[in-house]
Chain A
Amino acid sequence: MRRVRVITKTPDQPRPGVRPGLCRHRYLTAYYMIAPALVLYTIFVLYPISQGIWLSLYAWDGFSAMQWAGLQNYRFVLDDRVFWLALQHTLLFAVVVTFAKNALGLLLAVLLNRPLRGRALFRIAAFLPVTMAFVAIGVLWSWIYNPTFGLLNTVLRGIGLGALIRGWLSDPQLALWSIMVVDIWKWTGLHMLLFLAGLQSIPYDLYEAARIDGATSWQRFVQITLPLLRQIAAVSVTLAFVGGLASNYDVVYVMTGGGPAHATEVAPTWIATTAFRFGSFGKASAMTVILFGIIFAIAMFQLVVLTQQHPLE
């Protein structure tokens, strides 16, 4: 197959004959426009992060006066077996849900991008869980998984698959995977939407040209669709991965509270336990700083790797 090459506009550069002052003004205007968001970002994101780093250097129980502890909290974190276990669970959670959400999201997007009767209805149905609060979802799925009354075990029993009945949230080997299913169920619709937007922005001419050249549908998918979804995929994977690392607190808290015996403990739940239950705010902040560092490094790596320019773009 002949490779298709599309020539796109080069990145913004001052056109010959355009005054440099006008260009600077254009950038200044952009800064003015984003200034309110930047102020909010500083107040609600950067300032709390700096507070967290500062707090990690103190011993504080939330009631008494803070005492300088230097790097001691970090030493305590290194010795905390549960934190590292929780971090392993967090990474496993993030990797599995990122892969599943994106694979399923892409599959759904491709399916629902085709002419299909009731397509809008299917799209809404797939997106609906995204709009639901995680607490409500956690309670809902806890009942689905309930060993005595739960829908899942009842259905399995009803269709003669009683041998598959498990304690979905009580079996330490299964519990974390059961929670991952819930997270995937909730967020797949969002990733479908992202991919759907990406699919609809791909020029139809490319497919036409490829078809004329005799490309099969699989070749068109691999050679055109996937490369042109690269930017969207970068955003989608980053969102899923960072979410999997940092935003799994509510679903785990509601469904298992990190149990049984830390089998579903993830970093955010253990950080919350350390801070609010054990009253070790300094140590919890040190854990947060470590988690932040890990997430930041991974997200940067992902963005760099996934946003490399492709010849088609």
Chain B
Amino acid sequence: MLHRWLRTLAWLGIVSVLLGCASAPEATTPQLSTATDSTMIGSPQGTPRRVLHILGAALTYPGEDAAMHTTIAAFEQTCDCTVDARFEGQWTEVPQRLQAARIAHEPVDIVPTGANLVNSTLARSAALMDLTKLVVPFQERFRPGMLEPYTIGGHLWAIPFSQVSTSAIFYNQDLFRELGLDAPRTYQDLVRVAGVIRKQKQIIPMIHQGKAAWMWPMWFFETYAQTSGNHSVTLVQAFLRGERKFTNPEEVAAFAAIGKFTQDGILSSDSLDTDHDGMIATFAQQKAAMFYGGTWEVANIRAAVKTFHVGVFEFPRLVDDPSIMPQHGGGPDSALAISSTASPENLDLAVRFLEFVTRKEWANTLLSVQSPFFASVHGVQPTDDPLTGDLVARFYPHTIRFLDWIWPVEVNDAVRDGIAAVAAGTLTPEQAAQGVQDAYDRLVREKGYRFDWPSAWGAADWARVQPPAIPNIPLGT
């Protein structure tokens, strides 16, 4: 009798557990349970309201969160819909989060992302919808050349929506003045300046956020631009087509040039263990005199640095040939894309959202927090920051595309690891260059990598990314 009771109880337990597993998601997130429910929720009046799903990285600029909320609230009023926006994690994690959402069958319509990810991962994986025809009604809103970084194989994969960046070295102007130093123009100048700072102030001459993996390759973009005779972009494209090895003298010299920054005491190994906040704090507390960054740091600098003036200078000239000029990576860093698995019922909403945020009023609301020197969208008020003069007049003309907007993530990581190893003295420049070549060879061997992937795509591939229809949307100003 006792056993019968126990058996019954045990079965009840099992059934309860299974029922619990099955019913838990329904109970907590009813709107995610089915495809139909995922795009509609009940309004207070009882009529269904559609839900536009946005999945992006955490908003990091001061005030960006509030600006996004204001914009979304305004959009919800015009579209009679609800926006479910999730901004979490780092921007480099967007592909992972998109993958996870797909595996979990979570709906995603809009994907705020960056040129790096669009070019290296998302477009070739057919994760994004082809926007070429969808943005025609409002494509005049973008500044000339801004759509190019997001156009691959003649197809547009995202709309640029950010400030237009360039890279530079920020320095403590008051400290330089106190020590009688000028902003360095050549590498020799920089070595001398670093020596004076170290000797007289006992602080780190230049700090770098070496813990942020994506920042290391930017040093390579700078040095390679010069060691390649200002042909870094074309040489990288040739390398990715398999027409050129990465172990040529230009690439080795670029790695060696970065190594010299540590050997000559400009950078210390402290930089390998410094993240973004640490870098800004070190600079703001005058424990470092310079740091390498870009226009995207201006808002952060203004928020953190209160006690001294900040100046900016170009990455110094490394080569003697006067015809070779410093060139810096830059462009419209961030963008808005539509997921290739966006709900067809929501496509008009998604396109309307892209159109809405590129209107002058909302573009200003969203992009002004980035303190833009100029933005990818017409009509955005530029910042009146004192650094504008130098950056716009002198540095932007020397801006080229970031190389990590061209090469795949595996190659980018090999460059990053090579730089860190050369900086730490554990690899020679030749070994670092060979490491990049090996990464490329492995990519070709394991994944059949092709630089010109759009030309290799078949009809079935294109069908996955084409919009099911071209919706008519109301245009604002």
Of the candidates B3, B95, B282, which one forms a contact with A25 in the assembled complex, judged by CB atoms under 8 Å apart?
B3
The B-contacting residues of A in range 29-82, CB under 8 angstroms, are 29, 32-33, 35-36, 39-40, 43, 59, 61-64, 76, 79-80
Chain A residues with Cβ under 8 A from B445's Cβ? 76
The A-contacting residues of B in range 241-288, CB under 8 angstroms, are 268-275, 278, 281-282, 287-288
Of the candidates A36, A40, A63, A76, which one forms a contact with B125 in the assembled complex, judged by CB atoms under 8 Å apart?
A63
Q: Please report the total number of A residues contacting B with Cβ < 8 Å.
A: 44
The 3 closest A-B pairs by CB, nearest first: A170-B272, A32-B10, A62-B99
A interface residues, Cβ below 8 angstroms from B: 25, 28-29, 32-33, 35-36, 39-40, 43, 59, 61-64, 76, 79-80, 142, 145-149, 167-172, 256-257, 259-263, 273, 276-280, 283
B interface residues, Cβ below 8 angstroms from A: 3, 6-7, 9-10, 13-14, 17-18, 21, 92-93, 95-96, 98-99, 102-103, 121, 125-127, 204, 207, 210-211, 213, 268-275, 278, 281-282, 287-288, 409-410, 413, 417-418, 420-421, 423-424, 426-427, 442, 445-447
CB distance from B425 to the nearest CB of A (A): 9
Contact (Cβ within 8 A) A260 B13: no
Contact (Cβ within 8 A) B126 A64: yes
Contact (Cβ within 8 A) A148 B278: yes
Contact (Cβ within 8 A) A146 B409: no
CB pairs A–B below 8 angstroms (10 shown): A32-B7, A35-B10, A63-B102, A64-B125, A167-B272, A170-B210, A172-B426, A259-B417, A260-B424, A279-B125
Contact (Cβ within 8 A) A169 B125: no
Contact (Cβ within 8 A) A257 B211: yes
Contact (Cβ within 8 A) A261 B421: yes
Given contacts A63-B125, A146-B273, contact A259 B409 (CB under 8 A): no
Chain A residues with Cβ under 8 A from B442's Cβ? 79-80
Contact (Cβ within 8 A) A276 B96: yes
Chain A residues with Cβ under 8 A from B420's Cβ? 259-261
Whole-angstrom CA separation of A260 from B211 in the bound complex: 8
Contact (Cβ within 8 A) A170 B10: no
CB distance from A210 to the nearest CB of B (A): 45
Chain A residues with Cβ under 8 A from B95's Cβ? 62, 276-277, 279
Chain A residues with Cβ under 8 A from B281's Cβ? 149
Contact (Cβ within 8 A) B3 A29: yes
Whole-angstrom CA separation of A263 from B427 in the bound complex: 12
Contact (Cβ within 8 A) B424 A35: no
Contact (Cβ within 8 A) B426 A36: no
CB distance from B256 to the nearest CB of A (A): 16
Which residue of chain B is the closest to A80 with respect to CB atoms? B442
